Structure 1
């Protein structure tokens, strides 16, 4: 017997139609809703969000000290000034997003507790059909949309990547993942081991230090960190001069972006100097006797993986005070009282926290079909990291690795609005990207060059992501400084766009 497609399940009698369906009410989805509201008034749209409220990462992440790892002058939207400290807490970021929702009347457009299960495209009707479930009631709901705007992010919010080590069942204490932090977890007076060395670990360790008996950051390999005061000097000066916030926001953003671009360039052209500068900052905090070579000197050049900013050097201050420590080693196994290390050492623990990274998802784990056939997303080729060959009327927001995610979300928002207006002027109901005749001999490569950027979560899921070409338009460029000019200049009549 042939298997029946899950998209063939009975649908509700009432099907709601919108011009655009936005997936997710995180930082990208709220921004997308704003751009549609302001740039295309009259466009009908709905935002479907799985959680009970907006915020995405800033709602689902509950671990101690949760904060941004890049500055809010660039992580904030370009259209709304950020007036708080550059490194902000999740609560501060959600408050900012809430203001965007309220100030622009976005609330009526957002449907919370709506989990999208299936999405199917029909070339006969030129429509997407989206089947969802209300998680609060279990009710099946259905939408049709002319255009699908994917703002769901790139990792699973309800679970993280959890390696399986020998002996985990033998541990008598508690093991939690940073992505699945239990409500009310009390770590006061406990010996805590945080496994990981990324932004999550660097946030949790100083937040828990002092309250816990001791916190140990156990890392297999070191990570680069930048430190500095949690303030932007030029913003403070302009504010003291009484300059209006809109001007401060724009000037500060431009200065930060310019300095970030120069720093990234230096990471490629003079990596040894950049490395020495960053390690020198840590040596000043930790003292000349601290083993920086073992614990804070990565084997790779700067910016081959994301560099988190540590405000006021709080992680290193906690280590210097003795409230926290860093162990660089590999795990042999867990046992009843902690972790046995491959070096022969042992870490005693009451609570073990796995800050071991994201679990990559693809297109929100939604089952996609194109004209009745399951979508093989990894076989498509990306157009500028936002459209994909063979997938009509869809754009995906995938931000930057080396700069704030929202910078690209704003650029993509402009592009979507311009594309929709262009289709309207042409009378086109459908658009997709396709390789042009001059592209057919183009080599197809992985989504990102591992020699350029290679965090673990991306390497584990690289086989699930679309291919890229060797031409700028057929890849996800990581250079905001170039894309801010390239995106507005995209020729919508280029042969890469196929309208019908």
Structure 2
């Protein structure tokens, strides 16, 4: 396995629990587990999904807050890794540099760097749990005049403890999940915070605590309360998502009205909180306990909807002709998608090009043997899909052992229409569209983006559909 974030820890648990005869190692490039929750250190870092669905299926979330802060989530992951003995299998500071598959040997050879030295691993199955974005670089547009600005410019992905914003004027560029998290937190100490957006995003508020879950935990076993709350939230998420796709105008009106209710009749909601696209064409942003709206009502923060003409010595010149004077600029302008953590992959000496491949059940690729990735949902919590993916991989491994075969390969039985891997108009998706794999219009090549359907397909469904089980001869035997 590659990656010791939330997907990697979950995958390791499922392998131990469901395929205890298999040995494994988790290669992690960083010095600590946690992935996103160890990397991101910006003020207010938190989940944008409830922890009953972002948490593992096998380990209950027991804290009172359902929308949790980053350190609490990292602690949850560390405790899980320690309690299940997963941490003993993690090799830290081991950066994977490539992987190559040999059909003759039915093995992957994985190359890595550790302490400046090259190391090599071989495995029968390669499972990548590396997430989907570049840890080394975030997305920042090529703004004119950045060198002129006399203050500090920082991308949230690289926030450090020495960044001082107390009693400072701050501009946060962006309107996505990171921006709406940062603004109310920065507003607690900054003299004033501006969220500068080119266009609005759908923003909904929900309580940070789940009262029903906390009530149930008072009189029933923790795991039972957790499981019931998990399914309650899954079904509610799916209901509202389907409602939004079926009746986008009504959903738009409802979300915009929620903003009006929070901000009052005199606030220009039409300009600042009414997007030009339909709900769930891009991910809907969540704010706990309406904290963003509270910061706006109290005058500690404001939203400016405009374009950036250029950076100046003292701030920003806007397309409207207005200027923003500021001491600190935070470019919450998005992530850079990077599959496989940027490592090259080859099959029998031929470079694997994801953009030319078709995804199988959202986790494997056409004609690539013994290989899977963990990729979560775009319309729900990431871990829901990564949990199911890990469980499905163990089903495959167990079937291989039972059938005494060494290789499993998704194969297209008939041509299928290709469609984009992600049906999202978000900038980070569109910027990477030509590098992403494709999905099909029929099973098992179609992404469901539906947890209930995936439970039936991945946990209880068959594993033979357009999957080739084979037993290539070892090279030494074939040559004899």
| Fold equivalence (TM over 0.5) | yes
Residue in 1 that maps onto 2:97:
117
Quick check: 1:165 aligned with 2:143? yes
Residue in 2 that maps onto 1:180:
158
Conserved 8 A contact 2:202-2:275? yes
Tell me the CA shift for residue 491 of structure 1: 2.2
Quick check: 1:298 aligned with 2:275? yes
Residue in 1 that maps onto 2:403:
426
Q: Which moved more, 1:336-345 or 1:476-485?
A: 476-485
**Structure 2 unmatched runs, 5+:** 472-480
Paired residue secondary structure (1:159): coil
Residue in 2 that maps onto 1:152:
130
Conserved 8 A contact 1:214-1:323? yes
Paired residue secondary structure (2:62): coil
Tell me the CA shift for residue 300 of structure 1: 1.1
CA distance 1:43–1:498, shift in 2 (3 Å): closer
Q: Distance in 1 between matches of 2:42 and 2:467?
A: 44
Tell me the CA shift for residue 233 of structure 1: 2.2
Residue in 1 that maps onto 2:29:
50
Residue in 1 that maps onto 2:248:
271
Task: Output aligned runs, 1:91-130, within 5 Å.
Answer: 91-130=71-110
Residue in 2 that maps onto 1:24:
3
Task: Output aligned runs, 1:234-253, within 5 Å.
Answer: 234-240=212-218, 242-253=219-230
Tell me the CA shift for residue 249 of structure 1: 0.2
Q: Distance in 2 between matches of 1:454 and 1:322?
A: 32
Q: Distance in 1 between matches of 2:40 and 2:161?
A: 11
Task: Output aligned runs, 1:427-466, within 5 Å.
Answer: 427-436=404-413, 439-440=414-415, 442-449=416-423, 453-466=424-437
Task: Output aligned runs, 1:305-454, within 5 Å.
Answer: 305-436=282-413, 439-440=414-415, 442-449=416-423, 453-454=424-425
Tell me the CA shift for residue 54 of structure 1: 0.5
Q: Distance in 2 between matches of 1:28 and 1:357?
A: 21
Conserved 8 A contact 2:94-2:113? yes
* Selected match of 1:287 from 254, 257, 264: 264
Conserved 8 A contact 2:316-2:323? yes
| CA offset digits 1:8-46 (Å, max 9, x no partner) | xxxxxxxxxxxxxx1100000000000011111131000
| CA offset digits 1:358-384 (Å, max 9, x no partner) | 111021100111111221121111111
* Selected match of 1:61 from 26, 32, 40: 40
> Over aligned residue pairs, what C-alpha RMSD do you find?
1.2
Task: Output aligned runs, 1:2-41, within 5 Å.
Answer: 22-41=1-20
Paired residue secondary structure (2:167): coil
Conserved 8 A contact 1:171-1:336? yes
* Selected match of 1:201 from 159, 164, 179: 179
Conserved 8 A contact 2:400-2:469? no
Quick check: 1:142 aligned with 2:120? yes
Q: Distance in 1 between matches of 2:361 and 2:100?
A: 23
Q: Distance in 2 between matches of 1:153 and 1:215?
A: 31
Q: Distance in 2 between matches of 1:123 and 1:311?
A: 50
Q: Distance in 2 between matches of 1:405 and 1:499?
A: 32
Q: Distance in 1 between matches of 2:206 and 2:436?
A: 35
Residue in 2 that maps onto 1:482:
453
Q: Distance in 1 between matches of 2:466 and 2:267?
A: 59
Conserved 8 A contact 2:405-2:469? no
Paired residue secondary structure (1:398): coil
TM normalised by structure 2 equals 0.96
Q: Distance in 2 between matches of 1:150 and 1:281?
A: 40
Residue in 2 that maps onto 1:233:
211
Q: Which moved more, 1:266-275 or 1:388-397?
A: 266-275
Q: Distance in 2 between matches of 1:455 and 1:472?
A: 26
Paired residue secondary structure (2:120): strand
Conserved 8 A contact 1:434-1:498? no
Quick check: 1:80 aligned with 2:59? yes
| CA offset digits 1:112-145 (Å, max 9, x no partner) | 11100111111111111111011xx212111000
Q: Distance in 2 between matches of 1:101 and 1:327?
A: 43
Q: Distance in 2 between matches of 1:37 and 1:285?
A: 48
Q: Which moved more, 1:59-68 or 1:269-278?
A: 269-278
Conserved 8 A contact 2:355-2:438? yes
Conserved 8 A contact 1:60-1:158? no
Residue in 1 that maps onto 2:475:
none
Tell me the CA shift for residue 498 of structure 1: 4.2
| CA offset digits 1:84-103 (Å, max 9, x no partner) | 21110111001111111111
Q: Distance in 2 between matches of 1:280 and 1:493?
A: 49
**Structure 1 unmatched runs, 5+:** 1-21
